[in-house]
Chains A and B, each alone.
Chain A
């Protein structure tokens, strides 16, 4: 049953790489945005909040198309980035970018909630003891919200594993380069005799997603326990 063809293995490996890179690359920006939204009041806060959540509400095809307009070879940023050697269009890096953008709201939401759950009194106490703001974040806010931050990262990874619409619109469906698990399953369902392969990849997809979800749930429960203590 799990005798995957080399092409199917390629899709699985590519998906893991794309999701991993998407998750790792959005970790720091996600944390920064989550902290800003949780702890700072600034002009444009509502705008940032809306912008972060936009990919959650827009049709994924629209998000993918917007990415194409911005980061395509002749796009607003794409042309300029290509000059310094960074190309997203029709590359696996583009798939990672699409997955990162789609997973960003989920990641920020989980991180923001866990940062908001940290008692501000503790942060204030640290400040009165002489800790500058960055030290307060690293020694108080970060360790106390760590389980929620990890949960957000896992959630973004799981989302990236399943991302389809924005990815296929932005970087197409090129085997070995941009054909992730969902794209491969979609392709297999479109060709005669592909049902076996589609079923195998579906099974793998279900197992990976369930694993990520369980990990995320487990981390969320740990947060709850810590806050109740």
Chain B
């Protein structure tokens, strides 16, 4: 890849009937998630970024190249933007073989400066070598999506858009593709804008999160900071939770448990098929965290982390408690009554208790490479 990935800066406004979209955000290297419910405008943003529609007003720039500026009458057509899209339904060309589908974007990218994309490398990374001679109609949903990702990569885009690439797949297929997307994020060197309405996916993949609510940006920032705070996820308040980057410290030989360690302390989770030393990312939902003011005894939960209360945020009857555990923030969902009874206040030393069942092995991702 040539040089560091350019920063995408976006400002778009569009009225379509009763729905109005008005968003502005930037996306740097790595994976940026556009997160929100269906109807929040995520897919509209993707379409406008790709150049498949025209906003009423707006500006899109990739590094110092302006792709759209309605004020200056600039609107680079889709085929010259070098922004490839992986659609929810894959959209492989049905009359072409997998090999020809992969070659499609590669053909049009032949005039771009720099070396041609390495077909063999992309095929290997996505594990689609055995599919090359087949037609899209004969592929499973997961295979189709992998081919679509490969096809987009071989067009050598400067930005890769992924519009809910997993939404049409069942859990097993999702688990099959997620590792490939992680490799893509860490190895391909192309910034990715990833649309999703699933907290688990976003927590696993994203470095930066942009939350969309009814056509507006409700929050944006680093994934751990945004996803921990219920007030930044109005539509998903119940799903807020901390993201912890940990290392596999030990495998318990008989109990089927795995020990993970990080700055916050040691956590015990159901068996994870990862080698000792592997880096993993886990999500700790706020609703699965309890708070005690004294070290608990006679408790079935295995994970107790000492820390200090960072902030309290009352939201109706519920209170979102942020706890700093040796520099790592956890979030807990408590009732207002509990907060009063325990006398919780910022600065108070507490113990965060995490039920080990709160860890869902299918949600565990490899840690994003720090940039």
Contacts and interface: CB of A to CB of B under 8 A. Distances in A.
B87 interface: yes
B94 A129 contact: no
Nearest to B52: A124
B108 A131 contact: yes
Nearest to A144: B95
A9 to B, nearest CB: 42
B50 A128 contact: yes
Nearest to B83: A128
B82 interface: yes
Contacts of A126: 93, 104
A125 interface: yes
Interface residues on B, range: 20 to 34
B89 interface: yes
A135 interface: yes
B79 interface: yes
B91 A143 contact: no
A124 B88 CA distance: 13
A122 B152 CA distance: 13
Contacts of A133: 79
A229 interface: yes
Interface residues of A, number: 21
A219 B270 CA distance: 59
Interface in B50-106: 50-52, 77-85, 87, 89, 91, 93-95, 104-105
Contacts of B93: 122, 125-126, 139-140
A145 to B, nearest CB: 11
A39 to B, nearest CB: 14
A85 interface: no
A144 B136 CA distance: 14
B273 to A, nearest CB: 36
A144 B88 CA distance: 21
B155 interface: yes
A132 B87 contact: no
B109 interface: yes
A127 interface: yes
A125 B91 contact: yes
A21 B311 CA distance: 83
A122 B91 contact: yes
A129 B151 contact: yes
A121 interface: yes
Nearest to A146: B95
A144 B137 CA distance: 14
B350 to A, nearest CB: 50
Interface in A68-126: 119, 121-122, 124-126
A124 B78 contact: yes
Contacts of B78: 124, 127-128
Contacts of A122: 91, 93-94
A130 B109 contact: yes
A132 B79 contact: yes
B95 A128 contact: no
A128 B84 contact: yes
Contact of A130 (B89, B91, B95, B105): B105
Contact of A128 (B52, B89, B94, B137): B52
Contacts of A226: 94
Interface centre among A124, A129, A136, A139 (most CB of B within 10 A): A129
Interface centre among B77, B80, B95 (most CB of A within 10 A): B95
B84 A129 contact: yes
Interface centre among B51, B89, B108 (most CB of A within 10 A): B108
A129 B152 contact: yes
B52 A127 contact: yes
A143 B89 contact: no
26 contacts: A119-B91, A122-B91, A124-B78, A124-B91, A125-B87, A125-B91, A127-B51, A128-B50, A128-B52, A128-B81, A128-B84, A128-B85, A128-B152, A128-B155, A129-B84, A129-B108, A129-B151, A129-B152, A130-B79, A130-B109, A131-B104, A133-B79, A136-B79, A140-B93, A226-B94, A229-B94
List the 10 closest A-B pairs by CB distance, nearest first: A130-B108, A129-B105, A125-B91, A127-B78, A128-B85, A129-B155, A127-B79, A143-B95, A128-B50, A124-B52
